[in-house]
Amino acid sequence: MSSWKYQHAQKYFKQRAELYDVKYIPKGAEELSRIMIQKAEIKEGDFVLDFATGTGFQAVQIAYAVGEKGRVLGLDISDAMLREAEVKIKRLGLDNVIKLRRMQSENIPLEDNSVDAVICGFAYHHFPDPCRVTAEMFRVLKHNRKAVAVDGCRPEHPFKKLVADLSAKVSDRTWHIRFYTEKEFREFFEGSGFEEVHTWCFYQTHCLLYPFVMIEGTKPSA
């Protein structure tokens, strides 16, 4: 990530971190989290990467799934968001399972083939280079295991696409927001080497402007 975008990301999330769970996490996120964990086939004792962990909302759900014998690593670029996550994790008594780490680029500080699952919730629209991010997820994932992501999805319908694009232009988030189509998400995963790639595109009643997309992919055998 360029220094300019990194600085803006720090500023953007610093302004929102304290109230992020209340104001910015989409409604229905807890149910989506459970579905992601199920699709990633996360089980007790697994080591799971929560990429772009934010305030740790997703990491907490994963921690309950892996149990005391498992591990969760939450990565994020925002100091402010990680501070909120740390407070939450300690309050819930999960600091023995969840570890947090700040990163300054798309490079994931883990060895090849080292994690049992990768989860990435509501973050792809922040990534300057989603292809590189997906390739890194693929690299650190063990063979025959899964990565699952969910995010807003750029609509395919011409009118909905126009309205959504105009909305983005008048928002305060245009410096980092770039929603991708369902087809682009498939290209990110398949282009990085994932197989058995599946996508689900759906709307939620509170947000009819942008649909959501969930995508899963499996890292094939060596």
Tokens of 203: 């709307």
Strands 98-102 and 115-121: unpaired
Q: What is the mean pLDDT of residues 74-84?
A: 93
Q: Is the pLDDT of residue 209 over 80?
A: no
Average pLDDT of the chain? 86
Tokens of 103: 């990163």
Tell me the per-residue pLDDT of 128-154, one tens digit each, with 9 for 90 and over: 889 999 999 999 999 999 999 999 887
40 burial via Cβ count (<10 Å: 0-12, 13-18, 19+) = buried
- Least confident stretch, 17-26, 58-67, 154-163: 154-163
Q: What is the mean pLDDT of residues 216-221?
A: 98
- The CA-to-CA distance between both ends of the chain, in Å, stands at 30
- Least confident stretch, 35-39, 86-90, 139-143, 161-165: 161-165
79-91 vs 3-16: helix crossing angle, rounded to 10: 40
Q: Please check whether residue 208 is in contact with residue 197, taking contact to mean a CB–CB distance below 8 angstroms.
A: no
Q: Please check whether residue 145 is in contact with residue 218, taking contact to mean a CB–CB distance below 8 angstroms.
A: yes
- Predicted local distance difference test score (pLDDT) of residue 5: 59
- Predicted local distance difference test score (pLDDT) of residue 206: 46
Tokens of 11: 């500023």
Strands 207-218 and 47-51: unpaired
Distance CA 143, CA 194 (A): 10
Q: Is the pLDDT of residue 114 over 70?
A: yes
Q: pLDDT over 90 for what percent of the chain?
A: 59
- Predicted local distance difference test score (pLDDT) of residue 67: 98
Q: What is the DSSP letter of 122?
A: S
- Predicted local distance difference test score (pLDDT) of residue 37: 97
Q: What is the mean pLDDT of residues 151-170?
A: 65
Q: Is the pLDDT of residue 125 over 90?
A: no
- Predicted local distance difference test score (pLDDT) of residue 177: 57
57-66 vs 79-91: helix crossing angle, rounded to 10: 40
Strands 195-204 and 115-121: unpaired
**What domains lie within the chain, and their CATH numbers?**
3-218 (3.40.50.150)
Closest CA to 145 of 43, 74, 8: 43
Q: What is the mean pLDDT of residues 199-217?
A: 77
Q: Which alpha helices (DSSP H) does 92-199 contain, by range?
A: 130-140, 158-170, 182-192
Name the pTM for this structure.
0.88
Q: Which residue has better confidence, 166 or 150?
A: 150
